[in-house]
Amino acid sequence: MNSPYLPGRYPAVRLRRTRADDWTRRVVAEHSLSADDLIWPIFVMDGVGKREPITTMPGQWRVSLDQLVAHAEAAVALGIPAVALFPCLASESKDAEGTQALNPDNLMCRAARLLKAAFPALGLIGDVALDPYTDHGHDGVIRGGTVANDPSVELLAKQAVVLAEAGFDTLAPSDMMDGRIGVLRAALDHAGLQHVRLIAYAAKYASAFYGPFRDALGSGQALRGDKLTYQMDPANSDEALREVALDLQEGADMVMVKPGMPYLDIIHRVNTTFGVPTLAYQVSGEYSMIKGAIDNGWLDPERAVLEALLAFKRAGCSAILSYFAVDAARLLARDRLSLPKTKS
């Protein structure tokens, strides 16, 4: 709205007229949600025939690789453009340096090869960070008692090349080390991987809403201390714009704000300031809050999910990483086929 002065007055103006029927509501709708807007995070694990429910995220699973293609097929069939993979390692495979992150035959690399072979057109987003691989649960390596920036970035760049070579067409660094986008971009380009895209978790906050995800990965109990020295302070907003500006200068193709719903103001500022593809991560705690209320019968299972996702579009998002992606895409596909809803 360019003018702060709205034309017209009641009773000549009655905004309820355009709300009166389904067709006018559809015609004047400013935003919409479709499967194209959704990215589904998937947790993979070792073993055979495993589909373990994640207790703190009802309706989400950890799947072994033999189950992965069938699991991802749900998203592909509904037209979801991409999935984001996260690995759940057994604690014996973790160490202080996150050694497994650099193994070209690790869980993520094997998962990427399977999914690329089964669904060549599906976008594959690989998480770049060390926390699934470290026994202390931090996203980088520890030197002298703190998470050390530059040594971590060096390892993350190697991890990025390993993941890209295994078939991830997009990498999403979620570690929040300074300077990592530029170093990753240079490492990928040097390895002849110029086509690999970077989604920067540019404004990632030190949030309580990651709790269920850390349970899913088993990195929660392992985590020593907190992530306040590298993830952003929830009190800050201008700082998010600086983070985004730096990541764009360093070569990020898309930027992400995380968590989602408590940070809609940040999404809006980022998108209006930079006008670049802005993604949100509706994180595990947001999912579990809504899902928990739905499972208790406190929220409408369909409307609550779609309303929460549409809010991201209204705030300026191009796409949303959401554990509800498959459920939401199913609802949207059904709504497209159904007749207009009756008046209420």
Give the interface with ligand PBG as residue ranges (CB under 6 A): 127, 129, 131, 139, 174-175, 210, 213-214, 227, 283-284
Hey, which residues does 61 pair with through a beta bridge?
53
258 is a catalytic site residue: yes
Which residue sits closest to ligand PBG, CB atoms considered?
A: 213
DSSP string, 86-142: EEE--GGG-BTT-GGGG-TTSHHHHHHHHHHHH-TTSEEEEEE-STTTBTT--SS-E
**Shorter beta-carbon distance to ligand PBG: residue 213 or 263:** 213
Burial of 116 (0-12, 13-18, 19+ CB in 10 A): middle
Please report, for residues 32, 300, 310, 318, the alpha-carbon distance to residue 307 in angstroms, rounded to integers and kept in the order given.
10, 10, 5, 16
Distance separating alpha carbons of residues 277 and 271, to the nearest angstrom: 8
Closest by CA position to 232, among listed 176, 290, 182, 185: 176
Distance separating alpha carbons of residues 117 and 41, to the nearest angstrom: 19
Q: How far is the CB of 283 from ligand PBG (least distance, A)?
A: 4
Neighbours of 175 (CB within 10 A): 25
Which of the following is catalytic: 204, 227, 291, 313? 204
**Shorter beta-carbon distance to ligand PBG: residue 174 or 278:** 174
**Shorter beta-carbon distance to ligand PBG: residue 283 or 309:** 283
Please report, for residues 109, 160, 168, the alpha-carbon distance to residue 165 in angstroms, rounded to integers and kept in the order given.
8, 9, 7
**Shorter beta-carbon distance to ligand PBG: residue 68 or 217:** 217
Q: Do residues 44 and 64 touch, judged by C-beta distance below 8 A?
A: yes
**Shorter beta-carbon distance to ligand PBG: residue 112 or 217:** 217
**Shorter beta-carbon distance to ligand PBG: residue 227 or 269:** 227
204 is a catalytic site residue: yes
Q: How far is the CB of 11 from ligand PBG (least distance, A)?
A: 49
Q: How far is the CB of 131 from ligand PBG (least distance, A)?
A: 5
Which of the following is catalytic: 94, 227, 258, 313? 258
Residue with tokens 């498959």: 326
Q: How far is the CB of 238 from ligand PBG (least distance, A)?
A: 22
How many residues are listed for the chain in this entry? Answer: 344
Q: How far is the CB of 226 from ligand PBG (least distance, A)?
A: 9
Please report, for residues 32, 206, 218, 233, 267, the alpha-carbon distance to residue 258 in angstroms, rounded to integers and kept in the order given.
21, 9, 20, 12, 9
Q: How far is the CB of 76 from ligand PBG (least distance, A)?
A: 21
Catalytic residue set: 204, 258
